[in-house]
Amino acid sequence: MKFGTKAIHEGVSPDSATGAIMTPIYQTSTYVQEGVGNHKGFQYSRTSNPTRSALEANIAAIENGKYGAAFSSGLAAIDCVIKMLSPGDEVISTNDLYGGTFRIFKTIFEKYGVKFHFVPMGDLSAVEENLNENTKLIWVETPTNPTMKIIDIVAMGKIAKSNNILLGVDNTFATPYLQTPLDLGADIVMHSATKYLGGHSDVVMGVLVVKDEGIAEEIYRIQNSSGAICGPMDCFLVLRGIKTLHLRMREHCKNGKEIAEFLVKHPKVDKVYWPGLPSHPNHKVAKSQMRDFGGMVSFTTVGDKLEDALGIVKKAKLFSLAESLGGVESLIGHPSTMTHAAIPKNERKVAGITDSLIRLSVGIEDAEDLIADLEQALN
């Protein structure tokens, strides 16, 4: 089956009691048992809930995995992955990680004795130099936020496999429509379903997908033991979102391309970060592992002045000033004062997060209108 068919049909079937075509929102904590030990597969909703099970099966299918697990947020999903490790274990990760992931690694799990190395993953030797017998996990995010660096998942998978360690990929920015890391050598795929999977800026959720039964059992054990599950209403919303993921992503990619090309030509714009541009430093790797290039675009202005960026952000009307991404509506953000403000200025500069850097989550409105809005904001 192809992607759109799977997105709409996998994991769901008409309700056996009523024939309802939409998966019901099973707003229940417990399930009546016919006799001791005689139940219909559900006993308590922390452990499993039919609406959640449908979503978990659906997301597993579109990621080309076997087992899905849904959590109360993207960070709760990452929390579960790190809880598979033990004190003394080490993790190698990208140095321009999503801020919340960096925070949970540094301020929560370091206290429990897990060690993290943050390295520039464009350079494979930087990864290899940090490997030792305690390394248990390589954690990759690609494309990265906000400068859209692309990390070679196949290369990371080879390093992980030959050293017998797990490879986890945060696939939030690409979505399974553009990139399926389990096909490229990853063991675990993670999403903030808050973003493109939900797609309508109305839910916070995280998911994990794996192929291996042993890893899945460990994830379900932690999901049930730590209890960071999501409610059935949220599962319903994300299931509904995924039904149009392929349609939305086509529009996000098309608009992303038009806007990146508009920005490249604009005299006031300096750098443009979008992996689909042939001038993007990782364009070749992007082409080899992604089916298209998405709707996240960042840019800087000539002279790199803070006040220019703040002026553009203020004047934009269709692009709403907000954190987050992946919804149908376009958003604009200023990483150095918003999402990445907690990072010291020199470190920001090294990562390319300069004063004038602006990040766009390009929505699925009509490209002409979006471009006209950026044009008036830039002038």
Ligand X SMILES: *Cc1c(COP(=O)(O)O)cnc(C)c1O
From the candidates 31, 46, 243, 305, which is the catalytic residue? 46
Q: Which of 11, 50, 74, 275 is close enough to bind ligand X by CB under 6 A?
A: 74
With CB under 6 A, what is the number of residues at the site for ligand X?
16
User: In the bound complex, what is the minimum distance in angstroms from residue 302's beta carbon to ligand X?
Assistant: 28
Stretch that binds ligand X, among 73-81, 107-115, 176-184, 349-357 (CB under 6 A): 73-81
Q: What CA–CA distance (Å, rounded) separates 41 from 113?
A: 37
Binding part of the chain for ligand X, among 55-63, 192-200, 255-263, 348-356 by CB under 6 A, reads: 192-200
Marked catalytic residue, from 98, 177, 196, 273 = 98
Which of 81/370 has CB closer to ligand X? Answer: 81
Q: Exactly one of 96, 170, 187, 308 is catalytic; name it.
A: 170
Interacting stretch for ligand X, rule CB under 6 A, among 4-12, 28-36, 95-103, 220-228? 95-103
Q: Closer CB to ligand X, residue 173 or residue 274?
A: 173
26 catalytically annotated? no
**Closer by beta carbon to ligand X, 237 or else 378:** 237
Both tokens of residue 367? 């490209």
User: Is 195 tagged catalytic?
Assistant: yes
Residue for token digits 């300096």? 270
Q: Does 101 bind ligand X (CB under 6 A)?
A: yes
Instruction: Tell me the window of 175-183, 189-197, 253-261, 265-273 that interacts with ligand X (CB under 6 A).
Output: 189-197
Cα separation, 290 vs 86, in Å, equals: 33
Residue 172 engages ligand X in binding (rule: CB under 6 A): yes
**Distance in Å, CB of 348 to ligand X, minimum:** 17
In terms of C-beta density within 10 A (0-12 exposed, 13-18 middle, 19 or more buried), how is residue 379 classed? exposed
| Window 256-275: residues binding ligand X (CB under 6 A) | none
Among 157, 206, 275, 276, binds ligand X (CB under 6 A): 206
Amino acid at 329: E
187 is catalytic: no
Q: Please enumerate in sequence order all residues whose Cβ is within 8 A of that of 35, keeping only pairs 6 or more positions apart, or say none.
A: none
Binding mask 132-171 for ligand X (x = CB under 6 A): ---------x---x------------------------x-
Nearer to ligand X, 45 or 361 (CB): 361
CB of 20 to ligand X, least distance (A): 29
Quote the CA–CA distance of 203 and 67 in Å, as a whole number: 22
Q: How far is CA 12 from CA 53, 169, 183, 235, in A?
A: 9, 26, 23, 12
- Is 204 a binding residue for ligand X by CB under 6 A? The answer is yes
Question: Helix 232-242 and helix 50-62: axis angle, to 10°?
Answer: 30
Among 31, 48, 84, 100, binds ligand X (CB under 6 A): 100
Among 130, 142, 175, 194, binds ligand X (CB under 6 A): 194
Whether 46 is catalytic: yes
* Residues near ligand X (CB under 6 A): 73-75, 98, 100-101, 141, 145, 170, 172-173, 192, 194-195, 204, 206
Active site residues per annotation: 46, 98, 170, 195
